[in-house]
Structure 1
Amino acid sequence: MSVSNLKPTQGTGEHPGKISQRERKKAKTRAAIQQEALRLFRDQGYEATTIEQIAEAAEVSASTVFRYFATKEDLVVSDDETFFVQAFRAQPPELPPVQAMRRALYSTLEGLSATEMSTQRDRDILMVTVPELWSASLGNVKQTLRTLAELVAERTGAGPSDAPVRALSGAIFGIMMDVMLRWANQPELDPAAELDRLLACLEDGFQEPGA
């Protein structure tokens, strides 16, 4: 699951919107293009879908599609991290990084509509079932790890390359990947609740079952 692609909930006190109107409009256009692309990929297959078909479905030009997504693969693997970063940074400064991450992830996932959740799951399925997309997602994986390290570093006062920061951000990313892979195969899984449950285990420290 690529949480950096999630948008913030509206009207909550946890991370009030501070995104400009222009940024919101661009994000809305980008999301609409990606949503239509994922729908077409699901309905008729990734290889069989063309950029022209995506543009027509999203009611934009092909050049607009390429303005937001440089390649066809980017329609699946590309992320806009603005909203997720904002959600995390809006958490109370006294919260430790894992607790802040739990709140940010849970509130953003809970704020998604059923359609948006379905779109997110379609994206996850494509990323783990289409070989070229799995390969293309490596850049996104690296960027997400960098972002997590930077956010943890900001909250702890350490450096992004410090070993404790890298260990914690890597553990958080591993949990996110675990939930993404299982959600792709288990549509009944509640990703918000599962992420919160696993991050709570990380926050509390590992304990053997029954201990």
Structure 2
Amino acid sequence: MNLRDRQRAETRLAIQTHAIRLFSDVGYDATTVNDVAAAAGVSAMTVYRHFPTKEDLVLYDEYDPLTASAVAAQPAGPLPSRIGRALEETAASGSLSEKAFLLARLRLMISVPSLRARHLDSQYATTDAIVLALCGSSPEPEEEFRVRATAMACLGAAHVALIRWAETDGEGDLAGLIRQALDSVFRETKST
């Protein structure tokens, strides 16, 4: 990252940190983008430059490229295992402060209906990143279908684990919960 990219990333993180704090303390609907801008010491235009919508203030993260890279780096094997290991690695890689930030974001995603709806869009974007990482830019239709279905199943299981983790105030091992959810889905599938 060059200096300009680092500064943009720092500004984006500062804005998002203030937004999450305000949304958690004051309420998502009661907090305006202008409130976030004032708290972050930037203009509303700067907020919109980094986050085109209010929902993006909560939902934006850089996990898609990390997840896609982790999936691509997995050794050959069954597709659910490759994607599952990558999701576990991504969940295990965060620091305690990153996990606290993720927990605050998850609580908002769970409690605010508009964020729950937009979160589904982010699931599609993550799936697209995984499909691109595993299939390339012009996959065969059957391969793309198989990878997309498996990725969505894995992400659905991971989502359930994230909700459980948030409901227990971040207690326990997030990567372990993801593994447990994935095992529940794919072990049950194998035995039927």
Asked if these proteins are the same fold (TM beyond 0.5), I'd say: yes
1:125 maps onto 2:107 in alignment: yes
- Tell me, in whole angstroms, the C-alpha distance in 1 between the residues paired with 2:18 and 2:59: 14
C-alpha RMSD of matched pairs (Å): 2.9
Runs (5+) with no aligned partner, structure 2 = none
Matched-pair identity in %: 34
Name which structure has the greater RCO, CA cutoff 8 Å, separation 6+: 1
Q: Residue 88 of structure 2: which of 102, 106, 119 is its match? A: 106
Q: How many residues align?
A: 186
**CA displacement at 1:204 relative to structure 2:** 6.0
Q: Which residue of 2 aligns with 1:46?
A: 28
Q: Residue 55 of structure 1: which of 37, 41, 46 is its match? A: 37
So what's the TM-score if we normalise by structure 1? Answer: 0.71
So what's the TM-score if we normalise by structure 2? Answer: 0.77
**CA displacement at 1:117 relative to structure 2:** 0.9
Q: Residue 31 of structure 1: which of 9, 13, 20 is its match? A: 13
**CA displacement at 1:96 relative to structure 2:** 4.8
Q: Which residue of 1 aligns with 2:167?
A: 185
**Change over 3 Å in CA distance of 1:24–1:168 after alignment to 2:** farther
- Tell me, in whole angstroms, the C-alpha distance in 2 between the residues paired with 1:192 and 1:29: 29
Q: Which residue of 2 aligns with 1:150?
A: 132
Q: Residue 59 of structure 2: which of 64, 72, 77 is its match? A: 77
Letter paired with 1:144: T
**CA displacement at 1:58 relative to structure 2:** 2.8
Runs (5+) with no aligned partner, structure 1 = 1-19
Q: Residue 122 of structure 2: which of 140, 148, 155 is its match? A: 140
